[in-house]
Amino acid sequence: MVDRKFMAIAVGAIFVLGMYGPNIAEILLPAEAHGVQAQLQSRFIKIEDEAITRQSLSTGETLTLSGKLVSLVERDNRGWISLFSESTNSGNRWEIMARDPPGVVFVIPGNDVTPYSVTAKALEPGVYHVHTQLNVANVGPGLGPGTTVVVDGEIIVKPIGWGMIAYQSIMIGAAYVVTFATRPWKVI
């Protein structure tokens, strides 16, 4: 009885090695990657020629992402540009210093090319994968191809004003009041 079990396991192992033998090294080798949202580029506006000024910097220094926004539709769209980054540590801290086109929300003319740039200051050390993020009103976000940036130095802590804390607390409190006042049957 033991011989039959041994033979079954041996035949199974030979079968598996025959199927996956050449690829076994690929299966066992470690791999690393970063998650990317499902919609990398918008069907309405495409991010092209994304470039970055530097890939290594210290906290307090700035980097600039630049490129072109290519409108693929006839109508004008409203959008805003920002920096999207993922890191191996828990940080993800950048301070936007300047945007071109200026302002937070701007118009992207239909069937046109709009040059852009985003300048950001690094506030926390780490290894980041940085992308241009274009948020198009009523469409959603899209990302540029991105690149890896290494930041070293000490963490820069930016103080949060008491006025902002009070404002956020009032907004959260008002949301709770509205939620509990309009849906009392869901609270219980």
pLDDT per residue as tens digits for the range 151-160? 999 998 877 7
> How far out from the chain centre does Cα 81 lie?
13
- Does residue 66 sit within a domain? yes
Domain of 134: which CATH number? 2.60.120.570
- 98 and 146 belong to one structural domain: yes
Same domain, 137 and 86: yes
The reply to whether 71 and 142 lie within a common domain is: yes
Residues in a beta bridge with 8: none
Do residues 119 and 146 share a domain? yes
Query: Is 167 inside any structural domain?
Result: no
Q: Tell me the pLDDT band of 37, cut-offs 50, 70 and 90.
A: very low
Tell me which residue range forms the domain holding 15.
1-31
Q: Are residues 21 and 98 in the same domain?
A: no
Q: Is residue 19 part of a domain?
A: yes
Question: Taking Cα atoms as reference points, which of 87, 104, 86, 105 lies closest to residue 96?
Answer: 104
Same domain for 91 and 10: no
- The model's pLDDT over 78-100, given as tens digits with 9 standing for 90+, comes to 999 999 888 766 656 899 999 99
51 and 128 belong to one structural domain: yes
Domain-located, residue 182: no
Distance CA 33, CA 76 (A): 36
Residue-wise pLDDT for 162-174, tens only, equals 888 888 889 999 8
Task: Examine the domain organization and report whether 8 and 75 are in the same domain.
Answer: no
Asked if residue 84 and residue 57 are part of one domain, the reply reads yes
Do residue 154 and residue 95 come from a single domain?
yes
Task: Give burial (CB, 10 Å; 0-12/13-18/19+) of 145.
Answer: middle
> Does any domain span residue 102?
yes
**pLDDT tens column, 101-148:** 988 899 999 999 999 999 999 999 989 999 999 999 888 888 998 999
Residue 86 is predicted with a pLDDT of 84
In a domain, 183, yes or no: no
User: For the whole model, what pTM was predicted?
Assistant: 0.64
Q: Which residues pair with 83 in a beta bridge?
A: 132
Q: What is the pLDDT of residue 177?
A: 85
Nearest alpha carbon to residue 128 among 6, 29, 65, 34:
34
Q: For residue 151, give the amino acid letter.
A: V
Question: Domain tally for the chain?
Answer: 2
Is residue 103 in a domain?
Answer: yes
Please check whether residues 100 and 147 belong to one and the same domain: yes
